[in-house]
Amino acid sequence: MTRTTASPPFIARLLIVGSGIMSLANSFTVPFLAVFLRRELGLAPSTVGFIVGSSVFFSIFAGFLGGSLSDILGRARLLLLSLLGVIGSFVGFYFSHHLLAVFLCNAALSMSAASFSPVGKAMLSDVLPDEKRVKWFSYQYLALNIGFAVGPLAGGFAGLSGGRTAFLVSAAVYVCYFALLGTSLLLGKGARAAGTPGAAREGGERFGTVVRGLLDSARVVATDRRLLCFIVAGLLLEAVHGKISALLAQHLAIGFADGTAILGYLLTTNAVTVVGFQMIASRFSGRRDPVTSIIIGGLLLFAGMVGFAVAQEAWQFVVAMVVFSVGETFIVPAEFAIIDRIAPATNRGSYFGAQTFAQFGGFVGPFAGGLLLAGFGGTEMFLGVGSLALVSVCIYVLVGRRVPGMSAGSRAEQEDTREPA
């Protein structure tokens, strides 16, 4: 179906604003979760690491499950259920005093937040015309980064960092957004978004139908070779930029007396660069195909890693981080745009959910980097991990150019690949 509305629907704007609101609320608590576990519960460092590290596995599982369920039950229902899960998790953290309770709350929080993300992206694709999606994915990424840039500072200034009260504040913020989004959907401002393909299936609520729908989604995703290639390519890019702070922290702690201060400068530089450059990258990407954006972004990531490898002074690390961060702004929205272009309309949520498997790169990067650092040194660590970006670029060049509508293909050609016969 072709949409001709001049201005984006209200629900699209609400999803973008909501991304910033939720990112702000999360940043009051998630970055300081380890502090809370140590200070409030007195857990050992190894236990804290296990709880925090387990989040990625819950997120990967829930991302695909939530996205697939949205194709069956409808986007609106899954978005609201995910928000309720986050609210319940934050409240649970406030009342938790034992290891098991904290572990369960962390698992519920990771799964709820992870299921919201692909469903929200699928809904944006549902309500926006093709030519506006890359720009709005960029807006969403910008809103997320603004929230995470402001939140920790605001939380620290308000004395919330690492305390129980922060969980209640975050829960309250989510309650407000839940009420706003729920009211908008119920009053009809998001009615068209709520009427996604899966929402209209009769009997979709029945358990057997849901299970068959999930199995069908898994089959469609598992047999799409293009999607699998893009997931691998995304995992490699995630290994480079997803946990760059962990690589830098280890390197700076070993060879630099003022390593902690340099790391602080670099994290601030990353946040400021991503927020400041995102709109420029969005306009650039809007005029070009997403594969080109990812190629440019991947090459900049590698250049930034080379810069880290040879840097000896703080200003050299900062320059390398600017280059690295600019590359990041090209990559993330373009990855979502590529998934949007290859996803059938009836399985859009499943495809965005499957993309969350690329988050496993957040484990691969620090793990491989730690091995290289221990065996060879910091220079080899940055060059070795950075080379994964070049491998990813090669995959996008080989596979992306053959996707109809990705570069020279027509819009009609693209629609033919996404609408089932």
- 120-166 pLDDT per residue, tens: 888 888 888 877 777 788 788 788 878 877 776 676 666 666 678 88
Give 225-421's CATH code, choosing from 2.102.10.10, 1.20.1250.20, 1.10.357.10, 3.40.50.300.
Answer: 1.20.1250.20
Cβ atoms of 411 and 405 closer than 8 Å: yes
Q: pLDDT tens-digit profile of 222-265?
A: 778 888 899 999 999 998 988 787 788 778 877 787 777 888 78
Please check the confidence at residue 118 and state whether its pLDDT lies above 60. yes
- pTM equals 0.71
Cβ atoms of 235 and 358 closer than 8 Å: yes
CA dihedral 131, 137, 139, 141 (to 10 degrees): -160
The pLDDT, as a whole number, for residue 199 is 44
Task: Kindly state the tokens that stand for 223.
Answer: 């047999």
- Give all strands (DSSP E) within 249-342, no chain letters: none
How would residue 190 be classed by pLDDT, with cut points 50, 70 and 90?
Answer: very low
**How many angstroms separate the CA atoms of 420 and 345, rounded?**
8
Using alpha carbons, select from 124, 129, 114 the residue that is nearest to residue 193.
Answer: 124
How would residue 357 be classed by pLDDT, with cut points 50, 70 and 90?
Answer: confident
The pLDDT, as a whole number, for residue 216 is 66
Cβ atoms of 21 and 173 closer than 8 Å: yes
- Burial (CB < 10 A; 0-12, 13-18, 19+), residue 17, is middle
Domain with CATH 1.20.1250.20 in the chain: 9-223, 225-421
CATH number of 9-223: 1.20.1250.20
